[in-house]
Amino acid sequence: MKIEFIPLQMHGDERGSLIALEESANIPFEIKRVYYMFDTCKNVTRGYHAHKALKQVAIVIRGSCCFVLDDGKDRVEVILDNPAQGLLINSVVWREMKDFTPDCILMVLASEHYDENDYIRNYNDFLRYVHNECE
């Protein structure tokens, strides 16, 4: 599975740093939804789903966390700990997030509005979906 990080250009001076996120510039899709997670309790794993169509870019604003990404063939763990780097998560990729530091703030940019019908929430259903999509 190809893991794609998106470098986010940081601007700054003695006053601090700034990163701009722009659809079709450094974000490869139209941004229709933004959400963020924080105060995640110790030893909690989140996610446990895939999306049929939605694409996302995950950016850790503070702290760090681990993403487990699975395309039905390969399973890869990726640490996010750099706010100047986004992780592109394409559609039909199972994702789990774990090992959140106490200060972690994880922001996610999404290509679509929330749609429960786009979710695959059972791993065996995900594997069947991947298998049927490849035929």
Per domain, the residue ranges of the chain are: 4-11+19-134
Catalytic status, residue 49: yes
* Top-tier CATH class for 4-11+19-134: mainly beta
Average pLDDT (24-39) is 94
> Which strand (E) or helix (H) includes residue 126?
helix 123-134
Q: CB 73: neighbour CB atoms within 10 A? A: 9
Nearest Cα to 28, choosing from 91, 79, 98? 91
pTM: 0.92
Give the confidence band of 25 by pLDDT, cuts at 50, 70, 90.
Answer: confident
Catalytic residue (choose from 49, 51, 113, 131)? 49
Integer Rg of the chain from CA: 15
